[in-house]
Structure 1
């Protein structure tokens, strides 16, 4: 019989409790996607909500924990605000804190066994993320992942809808029994 040492036991437990994260640099993605960028010009809140809704849907489908970080770098006397919705967390950073610095700090708190993807187009941030053991995806790759997830959701919903058919007794009985029941019905 082989015994595990303390480090091996801890390592096994950590791998078992591994979590999958998708961390999104919110404004970076909004400015990278044309449809959100156009909306943000007139209504930044609406653009944020559209991104949040897309990430919620993606997180629910993939099982990843979504974290969207919006920075308040140039906003005076702003305090950090964390909002939880379904499978995601939305972070509004404090004054003088960028989304990049928040993301770097957050990744540092995670287990080395966690699967972490960071969505940003910021090249410097991508390099830092890779250096911390996370993977990075560009805004384009995130958009493709979201579209792929949406099509799989539609596929799943369509196939489950097709399975829902009428559930009538006449569909389950043989012709002889149906004939007898029909005769009984008519004689009444």
Structure 2
């Protein structure tokens, strides 16, 4: 299974809708990102590790929350950046698994590339997530139209014939 590491605050500050939302609520922007990545992970059948910096939060301990089998959210410990957390984990997994790192930090991109991961900019990933959202919507709309509930699905042939005769007689 492909694993995607996402530098959370880098993405929040790069994606237009999240950048606007964070001005009102960082928590709201984080939750929107989690929701979007959850849908993406399920649709693409991949594992996403969303990493947020807590390196400036004094006394903070690393906190990892498994949202479901497709997405984990990590808040780094005091003194640890998202970049260093991602580098450490990519180093452990990089050459054994398919790893993608989403960040627009150039130095981080070079580092993870050297460790066997594929790098993707935040804006490239944004466009990919938008395409997946469109695909999900198309699939959903297709399923809705295929599941229309028509009366003939729920009545027997004799009753349908009687109703059709009544309709034509007017």
TM-score w.r.t. length of structure 1: 0.77
Report the alpha carbon displacement of residue 151 of structure 1 after superposing the two structures with TM.
Answer: 0.7
Structure 2 segments unaligned to the other structure (5+ residues): 163-170
Residue equivalent to 1:94? 77
Count residues with an aligned counterpart: 161
Report the alpha carbon displacement of residue 162 of structure 1 after superposing the two structures with TM.
Answer: 2.0
Does residue 52 (structure 1) correspond to residue 34 (structure 2)? The answer is yes
Does residue 42 (structure 1) correspond to residue 27 (structure 2)? The answer is no
Report the alpha carbon displacement of residue 42 of structure 1 after superposing the two structures with TM.
Answer: 3.1
How far apart, CA to CA, are the structure 2 residues paired with 1:148 and 1:26? 20
Does residue 168 (structure 1) correspond to residue 152 (structure 2)? The answer is yes
The range that moved more, 138-147 or 41-50, is 41-50
Structure with max Cα Rg: 1
Matches within 5 A, 1:22-171: 22-86=4-68, 87-110=70-93, 112-165=95-148, 166=150, 168=152
TM-score w.r.t. length of structure 2: 0.85
How far apart, CA to CA, are the structure 2 residues paired with 1:47 and 1:169? 44
How far apart, CA to CA, are the structure 2 residues paired with 1:171 and 1:113? 57
RMSD: 2.3
Q: Give the conservation status (yes or no) of the 8 Å contact 1:170–1:178.
A: no
Return structure 1 stretches of 4+ with deviation > 3 angstroms.
Answer: 169-173
